[in-house]
Chains A and B, each alone.
Chain A
């Protein structure tokens, strides 16, 4: 029963081919920009800084902002 599994050794894992950094770079820039915009609205908008008037964004993300550890009010 078990011998069938044991008899066939797993192929040695092939050395992983790294992705060229030149291919990663533009995606890294894109991901960083998207992340900065999203994180800004979750963490800072209508707190330390405000692009829009009022407190709606602040109040809407209020609990998430507190629980993710960002200073709120």
Chain B
């Protein structure tokens, strides 16, 4: 059963990533190109050797990267749905998948992006990439642990308070814990002073929206694929 779900989750992730990559190609890539043009105007550090052409980067490379990411996270979503199914209230599989994806949008996309927002080319110093990668992954892990703490709190309160109060308490624990993690992690500000603020904003909105599109379309598709396995008796 779990193997079948995992397989379907990875397929759904591939399809969701395809949708997200198409969105990125149309909406985000113009901003990436604008940022690269800014970089080219300002820096003479370019070696001139282009290993992968821009045309490949923004099509084949973009789709490949997004779909590897999608297969990985679609599989993990399937595992979490399999573990939560029948254990977290009486939520039907499709709703469960969508709920978990909405949580992923907050925990894995929005919260880390508030501390370390996605940066276009021309923003970010080459020398600090290790520090920034470590800090970003720590923020991701911290957000995930904070969410587990929130879920644990909500579950512990089970018998004592109403469902709404459980959600509020869990959410409060999550927000407090993730804020603490964000305060403890190092501050990064490497935006060149003359980088256009509107371009930075538009790029970030497009990048975050693309990830949310990935999660929601993956979950919607996975829910439809998992429904016959998990709840065969419920009518479509």
A31-B85 Cα distance, complex, nearest whole Å? 18
CB distance from B216 to the nearest CB of A (A): 16
- In the complex, are the beta carbons of A31 and B129 less than 8 A apart? no
Question: Which B residues are in CB contact (< 8 Å) with A41?
Answer: 68
**Smallest Cβ-Cβ distance to A16: which chain B residue:** B86
Taking CB as reference atom, which chain A residue is nearest B65?
Answer: A64
User: Is B78 part of the contact surface with A, judged by Cβ < 8 Å?
Assistant: yes
Q: Which residues of A contact B161 (CB under 8 A)?
A: none
Q: How many residues of B are in contact with the other chain, CB < 8 A?
A: 64
Known: A10-B235, A35-B73, A48-B134. A19 touches B82 (CB 8 A): yes
- Chain B interface main SS type: helix
Once A and B bind, how many residue pairs between them come within 8 Å at the CB atom? 170
Other-chain contact of B1, A15, A23, A42, A69 (Cβ < 8 Å): A23
Nearest residue in A to B2 (C-beta to C-beta)?
A27
Which of chain B's residues have a CB closer than 8 A to the CB of A39?
Answer: 68-69, 72-73
Given contacts A24-B82, A66-B32, is CB(A31)–CB(B76) below 8 Å?
A: yes
Complex Cα distance, B188 from A10, in Å, reads 56
Q: How far is the CA of A23 from the CA of B78 in the complex (A)?
A: 14
Which listed residue, B79, B83, B230, touches A16 by the CB 8 Å rule? Answer: B230
Q: In the complex, which residues of chain A have a beta carbon less than 8 angstroms from the beta carbon of B82? A: 19, 24, 27
A44 to B76, CA, bound (A): 19
Bound together, the chains give a CA A27 to CA B121 distance in angstroms of 38
Task: Look across to chain B and name the residue whose beta carbon is closest to the beta carbon of A39.
Answer: B72
User: Contact between A34 and B2 (Cβ–Cβ < 8 Å)?
Assistant: no
Residues of chain A whose beta carbon lies under 8 Å from any beta carbon of chain B? 10-11, 13-19, 21, 23-24, 27-28, 30-32, 34-36, 38-39, 41-44, 47-49, 54-56, 59-73
